[in-house]
Amino acid sequence: MVCFLAALVYFHSLSGHAFWDDLQLIQHYRSLRQCFTEPFLSAYYRPVVALSFYMEGGIWHNAAFGYHLTNLLLHVLTAAALIGTLRCAFHSRRIALLGGLLYAVQPAQISTVAWIGGRTDALCELFATLFLWALLGAARSGARRRFLLLAAAWMAFFAAILTKEQAFALLPLVPLAFLWFSSEQRLDWRAVAPFLVGSGLYLAMWHAVIPVFLRPPVYPWSYRLALGGATVSYYTHLLVAPSPATLFMVTARPFAGWSWILAGYGALALGWLGVWKWRRTRPALAWFLLMALLGILPVANLVPASGQALSAYRAGLAGLGVVALLAYAVGSLPRVRWQLAAASLLLVWYGSLTCWGEAQWQDALHVTRAGMQCDPESYFYREYHTYALLDAGQTQQALSETDALLDRTFQGRDWRDADVVASALQAPSFLARMAAIDGALSSPAAQIAKTLIVDGKLHLDAHHYAEAGQAFTAALRLNSADPNSHVGLGHVLTAEGDWQDGLRHYREAIHLQPATAFYYLVLANAEWRHRDREAALSTLQDGYDRVGQQKPLLSQWMRKIENAQARP
């Protein structure tokens, strides 16, 4: 029944499309070696996730249905494994089944299951659950069976960290399992040592593939502490008492008040106090509470990190521990009637939210619209809504949305002045507002420049050359080393007849990225239109000598020009 419900609530996701990270993952991995020697999404080391996409690529090719089906099956398997884990921990069939049911419909799992890119967390949660199950069994078993279960726990843990680095946080559960659940109730370092070795091996593999770790922007400690408290409040709200708004929230602004910040740290303090209090009297409860805390800490923004400040899928690992706590709380009610009422309320509440939220993950347009409704201040959702409109061919509406986003960000139309943009990004008040509405722990200048380039391209396509020029000029003030801004400004200038400055910007783009064939083609095309065929041929030859895999494209254009020159 639990597995059927887990599949039923996400059945609609099978008709979903591929978007965002999905497009970079599907059919990207062409060999087994590539999975283990190439960074995952250019920034992480997650070879098991890459391996799953490599294996599926030969089966499903570009069909989104198959990848959605895999996510759905992973969710079903995790729900089944969680029932076994809870039965092993609490020795209660009722708590185990209720925990599995709550996990099946837990709203925090929506993006993990309904979005192909959520594969990382779907796999990590499955391996983490198997790790917990085998570890509990090992701690309570005799010598021979303990060895086999420890081996299984080690393999599941190693697979989990090879899937997502967040699983590293679960390492303290290993010694505590023997201290709290074994009959000897003592620490066995022979059992712990393999997990430490596995962790070290993973770090060595990461460093071999990605020598330089991500370096996110450094914010003041006051901001970091406030963000940490707000983040913990958000994830607590999402996991215990979710609402439609929490399902798509990416900014911490609704939780930025001091009451929410203090509540977040209060929740952490109460959690640690509960672990300490129950470690002897209710070790299973303390263990899963600790698991929830350890799952939250790596994503609580207490240490510098890159990417989104908040994302519901990041709470998925902690969600395993939270459903165990909720199942225990409901199962401990003094009357069966109360237990049934509480369980029914939670299942209907969670199930309704999950069905609604899962339906929003059909495509990028639906997700961004839901995100703008649930998190109206979010820069991220409004920016990606523009991209979704472009993909849907709604260019005029995309242009209106981009202009509106910049108007909203700068609280007026002064952003068309490059000096205003540059000075705004030096103002602490503007940076604080960007940090609140952006939803991403990245450079505000980089985010604004990216949006300005998109706005410039849209105005250029609409032949609004003055507005396009203003957008590209402002983007260059923020990042003079961006080749796309130079190309965009070159397009504007050549369209207005200023060939000398336009060609200069094209050449600057080549100077910034000399190994990219596209920029040689842009310059050669402009020189061709300017009736300077010799210069166009020289540009293509120069590019042919510098680029790697794109040589055939350049040589094709070179033959085209040579044939044109041969004609009388």
Query: Measured between alpha carbons, how far is 41 from 21 in angstroms, rounded to an integer?
Result: 8
Question: pLDDT digits over 426-477, tens only?
Answer: 888 887 778 777 666 567 888 899 999 999 999 999 999 999 999 999 999 9
Residues 309, 279, single domain; the answer is yes
Residues 430, 333, single domain; the answer is no
The answer for residues whose C-beta is within 8 angstroms of residue 424's C-beta and 6 or more apart is: 410, 415, 430
The 3-state secondary structure of 230-257, one letter per residue: HHHHHHHHHHHCCCHHHHCCCCCHHHCC
Query: Measured between alpha carbons, how far is 20 from 25 in angstroms, rounded to an integer?
Result: 10
Whole-number percent of the chain with pLDDT over 90: 69
Residues 343, 390, single domain; the answer is no
Residues 332, 438, single domain; the answer is no
Does 369 reside within a domain?
no
Long-range contacts of 136-142 (CB under 8 A, 24+ apart): 136/85, 136/88, 136/89, 136/177, 136/181, 137/88, 138/177, 138/191, 139/177, 139/178, 139/180, 139/181, 139/182, 140/88, 140/181, 140/182, 140/183
Q: Tell me the angle at which helices 143-163 and 47-60 cross, rounded to the nearest 10 degrees.
A: 80
pLDDT of 530 reads 85
Task: Show the domain range for 510.
Answer: 498-568
What count of other Cβ atoms lies within 10 Å of the Cβ of residue 242?
21
Question: pLDDT digits over 326-352, tens only?
Answer: 999 999 999 999 999 999 999 999 999
Question: pLDDT digits over 495-521, tens only?
Answer: 999 999 999 999 999 999 998 889 999
Does 389 reside within a domain?
yes
Residues 42, 188, single domain; the answer is yes
pTM, to two decimals: 0.91
Does 148 reside within a domain?
yes
Residues 331, 267, single domain; the answer is yes
Domain count, the chain: 3
- Beta carbons of 157 and 117 less than 8 angstroms apart: no
Does 367 reside within a domain?
no
Residues 113, 222, single domain; the answer is yes
Does 484 reside within a domain?
no
- Count how many Cα atoms sit within 13 Å of the Cα of residue 350 in the half-sphere of its side chain: 30
Q: What is the mean pLDDT of each run of 10 residues along the chain (568 residues)?
A: 87 93 92 94 93 94 94 97 96 95 97 96 98 95 87 97 96 94 81 94 93 64 86 96 93 88 96 95 96 95 75 95 97 93 96 95 95 89 93 93 92 87 86 72 82 94 94 92 94 93 94 90 89 85 81 78 64
Residues 455, 556, single domain; the answer is no
Residues 461, 514, single domain; the answer is no
Last residue of a domain, one of 362, 389, 411: 362
Does 313 reside within a domain?
yes
Query: Measured between alpha carbons, how far is 461 from 477 in angstroms, rounded to an integer?
Result: 22
Does 350 reside within a domain?
yes
What count of other Cβ atoms lies within 10 Å of the Cβ of residue 1?
9
Does 487 reside within a domain?
no
